Amino acid sequence: MMNLSSLIETDIEEYLKAHEQKSLLRFITCGSVDDGKSTLIGRLLFESKMLFEDQLAAMEADSKKWGTQGEEIDFALLVDGLAAEREQGITIDVAYRFFSTDKRKFIVADTPGHEQYTRNMVTGASTADAAILMVDARKGILTQTRRHSYLMSLLGIRHIIVAINKMDLVEYSQARFDEIQAEYAAFAEQLGLQNVTYIPLSAFKGDNIVEPSPRMPWYAAPQYHGESLMNFLETVEIDDIRMQRAPFRLPVQWVNRPNLDFRGFSGTITSGVVKPGDRIRVQPSGKESEVARIVTYSGDLEQAVAGQSITLTLKDEIDISRGDVISIAEAPAETADQFESTIVWMHEDALLPGRPYLLKIGTQTVTASITDIKYQVNVNTLEHTAAKQLELNGIAVCNINLDRAIAFDDYQTNKDTGGFILIDRLNNTTVAAGMLHFALRRSQNIHYQHVDVNKEVRAQAKGQTPSVLWFTGLSGAGKSTIANLVEKKLHALGSHTYLLDGDNVRHGLNKDLGFTDADRVENIRRIGEVSKLMVDAGLIVLTAFISPFTAERRMAREQLAEGEFIEVFVDTPLAVAEERDVKGLYKKARSGELKNFTGIDSAYERPAAPEIHLDAAKLSADEAADLVIAELRKRGIIHG
């Protein structure tokens, strides 16, 4: 039978049709620095005849200028495109390359080997079906080999090829290959890695890349894999095929409503198979129905499988929105709002427990916060260590809390419904990638209890509108003084109030917290929760805290109803606040005795649009308090 390549000359339409129907394998190359990852990819591109003549000419010229292989072509230069990569001879960013053979299409990600680029490696590996772990035959198993192996196990990559490279530099020694294979097999067992394949090769010379190498006849023995690398890549099972055997999941991306007579639910099937007549469950609501039609642009289908984009119509009219997950009824996804998860932190600013982030999982976006870092993982030794925050490239097992229940599967079962990213709410930067393990038991057992005497009833009895006056500003700005005067004036008017002062609260509720960024976030989180309870009790709450971070002030605001949070910015220049320095704190901070002091060595993020802005450098405390009272009357919070 004519092979696909020859069809290009004889029947281009038939070739394109056959090319469309090929399966697609995504894989990564990883390993320690200078183990030959980029060279291997360059060799695969060369051997699969995916290079044009001008590319070959450019590579030959670049090899003379940048290459490390003498007069030979340096295949690594096909992938290492950044100037810094060529100058240093290392991979920094993730480079994606496409190539194909007669049997399959491929997308390969060349990932960095250096520890400081762990986040880049995780990004490249997140969608991979397989991984090629490069090992230099001269050096054997290194720290970075173990690091990347741990990350592969964490990310659920099911097919791992340990490519023992540079066999030409150890004279194609069978004994050396056996030694490395035995050492890695023992480590893989610790990680629980399965489906590990060992292939000896030379990416530079081309041994065992496309065809079995005559230089290693011993590799054909029954105890070895025996196949070339290309043959393995062409035949290994793809994740999409495996996911077709899993329970049906369709995260709803769009409610398709082109006219009054049609209502469908569109998305990409992440796992399983669906047919008209199948009983489904919509989550997290739990409502059930039956599939009526499977609609596509090309017409209705009798069956749809994982990887296909479709629109489902149902026999019943039920409420479904973007972010919901349609599951097969007999094996539905779980639902919860609290989880244990593993998080890989990807931002220069540390992860702080208690700080709110956006969590995107599938087509759903919710608000989330890390409630507890259970332990950080040292990926070099696999040791578990305590941590109060997580720095760039850190990996930790954490408890996470969401503002609503979501449908999910554990990550190892389904990457699409178990993997998520965290997004900074202020600038929309992706700050972390995460993997859900399981729902915390308390999320299933703790529910809101209905009460008959609610906030409205309590407020009516007190004749006021409950709210929070959130005083923020530098230390020494006058927050406590002004808040105290405002409370006195409110009390004189007959209002029911309570003042939460920063120093007073740290004698009791928050006595266990220090002044690191992580502790400051937790300090304000607790105050926000207490304020919410007091508003529910019908009170006017006054809080006097530096509360230096915008994210935490926003978190406190979003816990309350519209109009219940009034931010009062006591705006005092640093020089004025430092001149007052009643407690001598600025003096201690300047001398180095007091660390993490706001305004000196810890940032204060000014409110962008506070409801009340007090220029404390020009106003007396009493004048400032009167302005606050006037604003409360204007807003209808007090009536006296």
Q: Which residues are annotated as a binding site?
A: 31-38, 110-114, 165-168, 473-480
- Binding-site residues for ATP, in ranges, read 473-480
Whether residue 547 lies in the annotated active site: yes
Reported as half-sphere exposure (CB side, CA atoms, 13 A), residue 10 has a value of 6
Helices (H), 197-291: 229-235, 239-243
Q: φ, ψ for residue 117 (rounded to 5)?
A: -110, 25
Distance CA 335, CA 287 (A): 13
For residues 434 and 419, the answer to whether their CB atoms sit within 8 Å is yes
Beta bridge partners of 256: 264
Q: What is the CA radius of gyration of the chain?
A: 31
Beta strands in 201-322 (DSSP E): 249-251, 254-259, 262-268, 273-274, 279-283, 287-295, 304-305, 309-314
For residues 112 and 93, the answer to whether their CB atoms sit within 8 Å is yes
For residues 266 and 253, the answer to whether their CB atoms sit within 8 Å is yes
Q: In what order do the strands lie in the sheet with 309-314?
A: 249-251, 325-328, 279-283, 287-295, 309-314, 262-268, 254-259
Beta strands in 137-286 (DSSP E): 159-165, 196-200, 249-251, 254-259, 262-268, 273-274, 279-283
For residues 364 and 320, the answer to whether their CB atoms sit within 8 Å is no
The residue from 547, 591, 602, 620 that is catalytic is 547
C-alpha distances in Å from residue 551, one per residue of 84, 352, 598:
36, 11, 16
Helix axes 621-634, 479-492, angle to 10 degrees: 50
Active-site annotation, residues: 547
